[in-house]
């Protein structure tokens, strides 16, 4: 509450000057109480006193009072009261999160059946599913930390990698939680949106605590211990939030609230973001007060006549009343705010807004086609977002490059370009390591099949460019004949050797 009061201000404070003429008009138009001498002129004083019975019940509220209060509320709304920042919809809807999962022998304990590690994987999966549309990265750590997956909105990339994490794939046993925190901070520093770190663990080496006390990002802990047991080392750790494991969704819901609160607080300190206009909240009490005008004797006939003249002729329909007051784009924005994205796509007339609504509704090919017709850097950026979510990584790279051509030194576009290239490189590298394409050197756009006429001879053809779609994450993961644990073990060993060198 203190933070809200500290950040409260008006975006368009000049509108507050209208309060002066409103107050003057109120004072001039409000009926003034008449002196008793004028009211009872020509009547004897003792009779006047008798006639004043019930004078205390005189009207206290006049129509002008209601009108001026409504005018004050509308003026305050026009001034734009605010106390929080508006997130950038092109970067992220919610806070990016780095999940650091402890993968050690102690996490194999069966006191949380089937094991602490398995239950931790279930919780991480639930959290990823609850954060639809938000970017999540995954780190595994034991004696050394390793980045399993970069920040991504695609849960299909995270799930198979998460399943392959066991203590056997870790190159070194131990508890390097502090190093995992450093790696997580590095990942978040590359993001333009403030984020947080979640540690999923069953214990913490006391020697690692000092680094958490000086963490530069919000840190949360999900303790994987049965019966509400706590980790004593975390009890006195300041600036962090500890959430104990629960058999239901209470721990996930609590983490979601804390992560979003930290995200909102971080946005308030980001001067690059606009303040969120909260003036619409005052429109409701102003509309309620306007209903009092329909009391008997309060209706302004001229206003009703004006409304009847202004309203369109022809039959009236209950479902078309919004068209009297709101433009199609305004109705579409309301639908977007209420997360009715499919409905918003039918309401927007502005092509960019329609494309963004289709992007949020999951209609990625349609959204990309709309953005491709526009020549703004924002349109190219959004086209790249639609392409990458549709797993069209090469077109996504081209779109982000166009966005950078139209607006050089755009950090968000540069970041997404690097992420797209990293994903494409990861996909191609994985395919090359599989039995399907390892020897043939097949690229991401090639197809291999057995030729029956050639008695099993391998034949390579170029995939058609028109109408072709990239292979989904589940499809290319399923093409890997080697076990995921072997893949992670070899990758972590290589990273560990590079760090030593």
Confidence check: pLDDT of 476 > 50: no
SS3 401: helix
Determine the average pLDDT of the residues in 390-412.
89
The span from the CA of 362 to the CA of 342, in Å, is 9
Determine the average pLDDT of the residues in 279-299.
72
Ordered by where they begin, the domains of the chain are 1-33+59-83+277-308 (no CATH), 97-268 (3.40.50.410), 335-473 (1.25.40.10)
The span from the CA of 85 to the CA of 118, in Å, is 38
Determine the average pLDDT of the residues in 360-389.
90
* The predicted structure's pLDDT at residue 103: 94
Q: Are strands 457-462 and 446-451 parallel, antiparallel or unpaired?
A: antiparallel
Write out pLDDT tens, residues 45-79.
Answer: 666 666 555 544 455 677 777 888 888 988 888 88
Tell me the average pLDDT of the chain. 76
pLDDT level of residue 412 (50, 70, 90 thresholds)? confident
Higher pLDDT, 490 or 19: 19
Who's near 379: CB < 8 A, 6+ residues apart? 352, 355, 371, 372
The span from the CA of 358 to the CA of 341, in Å, is 7
* The predicted structure's pLDDT at residue 29: 80
Question: Could you say which DSSP state residue 311 is in?
Answer: S
| Matching residue, tokens 């500890």 | 242
Who's near 123: CB < 8 A, 6+ residues apart? 200, 222, 224, 245, 251, 252
pTM of the entire structure?
0.49
The span from the CA of 284 to the CA of 450, in Å, is 68
Backbone angles phi, psi at 390, to 5 degrees: -90, 5
* The predicted structure's pLDDT at residue 467: 46
Determine the average pLDDT of the residues in 376-384.
90
Backbone angles phi, psi at 208, to 5 degrees: -95, -5
| Matching residue, tokens 């706590």 | 230
pLDDT level of residue 6 (50, 70, 90 thresholds)? low
Peptide bond preceding 114: is omega within 30 degrees of 0, i.e. cis?
A: yes
Determine the average pLDDT of the residues in 373-385.
90
pLDDT level of residue 488 (50, 70, 90 thresholds)? confident
Nearest to 392 by CA among 361, 360, 369: 369
* The predicted structure's pLDDT at residue 99: 94
């Amino acid at each position: 509450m203190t933070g809200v009061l500290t950040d409260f201000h008006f975006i368009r404070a000049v509108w507050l000057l209208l309060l002066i003429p409103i107050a003057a008009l109120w004072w001039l138009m409000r009926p003034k109480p008449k002196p008793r001498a004028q009211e009872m002129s020509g009547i004897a004083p003792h009779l006047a006193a008798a006639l004043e019975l019930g004078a205390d019940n005189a009207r206290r509220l006049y129509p002008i009072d209601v009108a001026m209060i409504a005018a004050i509320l509308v003026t305050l709304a026009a001034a734009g009261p605010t106390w929080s920042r508006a997130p950038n919809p092109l970067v992220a809807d919610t806070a990016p999160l780095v999940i650091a999962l402890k993968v050690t022998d102690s996490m194999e304990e069966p006191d949380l059946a089937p094991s602490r590690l398995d239950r931790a994987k279930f919780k991480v999966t639930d959290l990823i599913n609850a954060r639809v549309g938000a970017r999540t990265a995954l780190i595994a750590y034991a004696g050394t930390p390793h980045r399993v997956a970069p920040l991504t909105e695609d849960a299909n990339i995270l799930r198979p990698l998460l399943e392959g994490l066991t203590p056997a794939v870790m190159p070194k046993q131990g508890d390097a939680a502090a190093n995992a925190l450093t790696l997580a901070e590095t990942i978040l520093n590359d993001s333009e949106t403030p984020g947080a770190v979640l540690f999923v663990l069953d214990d913490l080496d006391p020697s690692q605590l000092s680094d958490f006390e000086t963490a530069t990002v919000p840190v949360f802990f999900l303790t994987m211990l049965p019966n509400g047991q706590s980790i004593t080392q975390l009890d006195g750790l300041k600036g962090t939030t500890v959430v104990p494991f629960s058999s239901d969704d209470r721990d996930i819901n609590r983490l979601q609230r804390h992560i979003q609160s930290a995200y909102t607080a971080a946005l308030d300190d980001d001067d690059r973001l606009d303040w969120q206009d909260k003036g619409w909240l005052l429109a409701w009490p102003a509309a309620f007060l306007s209903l009092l005008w329909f009391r008997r004797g309060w209706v302004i006939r001229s206003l009703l006549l004006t409304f009847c003249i202004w309203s369109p002729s022809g039959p009236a329909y209950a479902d078309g009343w919004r068209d009297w007051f709101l433009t199609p784009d305004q109705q579409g924005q309301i639908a977007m705010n209420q997360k009715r994205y499919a409905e918003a796509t039918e309401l927007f007339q502005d092509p960019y807004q329609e494309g963004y609504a289709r992007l949020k509704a999951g209609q990625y090919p349609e959204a990309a086609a709309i953005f491709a017709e526009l020549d703004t850097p924002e349109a190219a950026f959004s086209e790249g977002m639609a392409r990458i979510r549709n797993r069209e990584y090469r077109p996504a790279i081209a779109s982000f490059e166009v966005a950078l051509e139209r607006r050089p030194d755009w950090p968000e576009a540069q970041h997404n370009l690097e992420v797209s290239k990293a994903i494409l490189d990861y996909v191609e590298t994985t395919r090359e390591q599989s039995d399907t394409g390892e020897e043939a050197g097949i690229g991401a756009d090639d197809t291999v099949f057995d030729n029956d006429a050639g008695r099993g001879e391998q034949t390579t053809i170029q995939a058609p460019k028109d109408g072709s779609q990239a292979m989904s994450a589940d499809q290319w993961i399923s093409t890997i004949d080697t076990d995921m644990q072997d893949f992670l073990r070899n990758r972590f060993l290589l990273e560990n050797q590079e760090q030593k060198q």
